[in-house]
Amino acid sequence: MRLNESANRGAAIALAIRGVRVFPCNPDKTPKVAAWEEKATSNSLMTEATWQSDAPSLPGLPAGGNGFVVFDADRKFGGPDGVEAFHSLCATHCVDLATAFVVETPSTGRHFYFRSEIAYGNSRGSLPDGIDVRGVGGYVIAPGATLPDGRSYRVIGGSLDAVPALPDALAGLLRPKRPTVTPEPHLEPAADAVTDRERAFANAALADEVAKLSAMREGSGRNHALNVASHSMGTMAGWIDLNVAASALYEASVANGYVAKDGASAAKGTIESGINAGMNKPRHLISESAPDIDISAMVVNGIAAFKRKHSKPIPAANGKRTVTLLQGSQIAEEAVTWIWDGYLPSGKLTLLAGAGGTGKSTIAFNIAATITNGGLWPDGSRCNAPGNVLIWSSEDDPADTIKPRLMAVGANENRYGVISGTIDEQGLRCPFDAALDMDSLREAVSSIGGISLLIIDPIITAVTGDMHKANDVRRSLQSIVDFAAEMHCAVLGITHFAKGTAGKNSAERVIGSQAFSALARMVLVAAKEEDSQRRVFTRAKSNNSVDTGGFSYTIEALTLHRDIVATRVVWGEPLEGSSRSILSEIEGETAEDGSSKLAAAKAYLLDVLRTGPIPSKELFEHARESHDIKIDTLRRAGRALSIEPRKVAVAGGWVWELPIRIPQRVGS
């Protein structure tokens, strides 16, 4: 008997659209894919493609991966009645299940869903027989799934868009998941190895996190921010007294009202969980990372000296080219190293593309400043350790453009440098040429202790030949790709969108040959809203992470000393969706009909939101089906009316409402 493919496909896609990550399971409910927790996705297009395959699949739902704790109450013949036991347990602890999200399993068992920011595992803790728990590292078959015999997982209570928080009484019966991987001994800094530099960095980081947390207010993601801050401090075990850090973070949670609203145990649990997770990923000592750049090693006679020291290749014995083979057993698998998790992979080529005026170089300099200071990324995570940055720019002057922009964002000037040129064999200064000077650059980078990032602005500077010909682009950029891998650094190449490509796949809009996007492991894109200062930054392609989401931003001008004017990026709210939809939203309608459609959308929002908030999905569907209003137009209208969608649940749960409630007319 085959699975009901239509029902399971519909269930999987519906969950993905609502922001729930899913993965395919076999008819016997075992995962079809290895590393299912990491490969689970809420990308609706990827989900649809997976369930269009020939092999039928049940949708699996990673519990912890979606922020859930699921109590799995079984009913088995001759065994304990887990459902009755769970209801009795809740009655004993005064837990109200009226709003719980409950799914009936094909065997008449129950899945009781709760949301939790604390990482609980699959340990039963103190639960009665017949009840299991699914958290981080666990999964359940998703609501709406149908087995081969026609039985299904039916929702019998509550809503997935309003899964209640895990009650303290039930949380007290569980044990937070502890790190299961012991850090390698050489990554654990000995007490005498930690210097004043690490201690100062940790104290500054704690002060930064406490200040940020203390200023937060309800609805701004206090629990998530507390978890991120706790994780960051955990990575600095040995650099700072973690009890002091935990106490400071707790006091910040008292100051911002989190403890008053969610309770002391919730705050302490989040802090403990975050610190434990961070301790499992210890930072390298700053003293072991790249030293401050000595720019003198890269000018005048430096390059020539490195050329003389560079060894020559050994010719093959038979004088012929030979192919080298590498057996699978000889390959040591390793995880991708991220400089900015999910956005900037180390050892890879990343492109940053966009139309003119979007501030691509300014974004790149903001990234450089974060790396040189070991600062915070737009998503609130912290750069692991300060690193060195090199900039190769054929368009911007180092004195009047590059340095002022880096000053505007507070970059550490001892940790960045500019490739100003090379000295040839005759001692003459000439422009840097990637076709000739990459070996010399390797030597120069090695002499300064390595770099974390090389910025190439624009990337076409590195191309010898025609940038529209794939062979020329591949041949030229291969040396850049090799450099990134060999020097264990990220390379960020800046480029433009081709004209007339609006509405197309974002990665395909990069100017020149498609080989640019093909060689890059990550393609980031930027766009600007017409007649507005609002801009967006998003992922168009990612070979090593998800390729959705991003951030809004604006470009701010400020005056430095001596009337020097520079610009910097001011990051805004996080964005959801594919890069194509994000860019489509901000690039907007055509001039011919944009204003009339925007006016209609604004009138629609004022009307339907008059009586209160409406879920985003319901609003989008109604606007499109009943009024032929596109989502991007609706979002533009929302911004014009100062409507800010807010999230009311972990799994999806976005709603729209007017900033000021309009009184309903009598008799309406």
**% of the chain with per-residue pLDDT over 70:** 84
For residue 469, being part of any structural domain is answered with yes
For residue 313, being part of any structural domain is answered with no
pLDDT at 354 over 90: no
| Sole residue written with tokens 């649990």 | 269
563 sits in the region (left: phi over 0; alpha: psi -120 to 50; else beta) called left
Domain boundary among 286, 304, 330: 286
Closest CA to 370 of 396, 402, 401, 406: 406
Is residue 536 domain-shared with residue 552, that is, in the same domain?
yes
The model's pLDDT over 22-74, given as tens digits with 9 standing for 90+, comes to: 999 988 888 888 778 878 888 877 788 788 764 678 999 999 888 899 999 99
Q: What is the mean pLDDT of residues 500-525?
A: 79
Q: For residue 592, what pLDDT band results from cuts at 50, 70 and 90?
A: very low
Q: For residue 103, what pLDDT band results from cuts at 50, 70 and 90?
A: very high
Provide the domain count of the chain: 4
Is residue 268 domain-shared with residue 158, that is, in the same domain?
no
Is residue 486 domain-shared with residue 553, that is, in the same domain?
yes
The model's pLDDT over 549-589, given as tens digits with 9 standing for 90+, comes to: 888 888 888 888 767 888 889 888 888 878 887 887 776 54
Closest CA to 478 of 456, 497, 463, 493: 463
Is residue 617 domain-shared with residue 571, that is, in the same domain?
no
For residue 626, being part of any structural domain is answered with yes
Q: What is the CATH number of the domain that holds 62?
A: 3.30.2250
pLDDT at 618 over 60: yes
For residue 368, being part of any structural domain is answered with yes
CA 57, CA 11: separation in Å to the nearest integer?
11
pLDDT at 645 over 50: yes
For residue 324, being part of any structural domain is answered with no
Lowest mean pLDDT among 14-18, 347-351, 447-451, 610-614: 610-614
Q: Using H for helix, E for strand and C for coil, what is the string for 451-485?
A: CCEEEEECHHHHCCCCCCCHHHHHHHHHHHHHHHH
Is residue 13 domain-shared with residue 121, that is, in the same domain?
yes
Closest CA to 128 of 169, 80, 69: 80
Is residue 549 domain-shared with residue 632, that is, in the same domain?
no
| Sole residue written with tokens 């210097």 | 195
CA 92, CA 588: separation in Å to the nearest integer?
56
Question: According to the model, what pLDDT value does residue 301 have?
Answer: 38
What does the DSSP assignment read for 89-115?
HHHHTT---TT-EEEE-TTS-EEEEEE
Question: According to the model, what pLDDT value does residue 653 have?
Answer: 65
CA 609, CA 564: separation in Å to the nearest integer?
47
For residue 668, being part of any structural domain is answered with no
Closest CA to 389 of 366, 408, 362, 423: 366
Is residue 126 domain-shared with residue 38, that is, in the same domain?
yes
Six-digit token string for 24? 């395919």
Name the residue type at position 255.
Answer: A
For residue 432, being part of any structural domain is answered with no
Q: What is the CATH number of the domain that holds 568?
A: 3.40.50.300
Is residue 47 domain-shared with residue 126, that is, in the same domain?
yes
Opening angle at CA 46, ends 633 and 511, nearest 5: 65
Distances (CA, A) of 404 to 365, 366, 390, 419, 495: 10, 12, 16, 17, 22
Lowest mean pLDDT among 5-9, 180-184, 185-189: 180-184
Question: According to the model, what pLDDT value does residue 308 have?
Answer: 40
Taking a C-beta distance cutoff of 8 angstroms, is the pair 202, 239 a contact?
yes
Lowest mean pLDDT among 395-404, 614-623, 638-647: 638-647
Instruction: Compare 77 and 141 and report the one with higher pLDDT.
Output: 141
For residue 241, being part of any structural domain is answered with yes
Opening angle at CA 549, ends 214 and 52, nearest 5: 140
CA 320, CA 305: separation in Å to the nearest integer?
31
Taking a C-beta distance cutoff of 8 angstroms, is the pair 469, 513 a contact?
yes
Contacts of 320-324 spanning 24+ positions with Cβ under 8 A: none
Mean pLDDT of the chain, nearest integer: 80
Q: What strands, in cross-sheet order, belong to the sheet with 548-559?
A: 416-418, 389-393, 453-457, 490-496, 349-354, 522-528, 535-542, 548-559, 565-578
Question: According to the model, what pLDDT value does residue 665 have?
Answer: 43
Kindly provide the b/e burial profile for residues 38-76, where b requires at least 16 CB atoms within 10 angstroms of the residue's own CB. ebbbbbbebbeebbeeeebbbbbbbbbbbbbbbbbbbbe
Q: Say if residue 458 is preceded by a cis peptide, omega within 30 of 0.
A: yes
Kindly report the length of the chain.
668
CA 540, CA 526: separation in Å to the nearest integer?
10
Is residue 568 domain-shared with residue 504, that is, in the same domain?
yes
Provide the residue range defining the domain that includes 620. 590-656
Taking a C-beta distance cutoff of 8 angstroms, is the pair 354, 497 a contact?
yes
Coil, strand or helix at 447 = helix
Six-digit token string for 602? 């604004």
Q: How many whole angstroms from its chain centre is CA 38?
A: 13
Is residue 385 domain-shared with residue 271, that is, in the same domain?
no
Distances (CA, A) of 406 to 178, 290, 387: 41, 19, 15
Lowest mean pLDDT among 232-241, 328-337, 338-347: 328-337
pLDDT at 309 over 50: no
Is residue 403 domain-shared with residue 349, that is, in the same domain?
yes
Distances (CA, A) of 463 to 54, 472, 479, 492, 493: 43, 7, 10, 15, 12
Is residue 56 domain-shared with residue 165, that is, in the same domain?
yes
Q: What is the mean pLDDT of residues 517-533?
A: 84
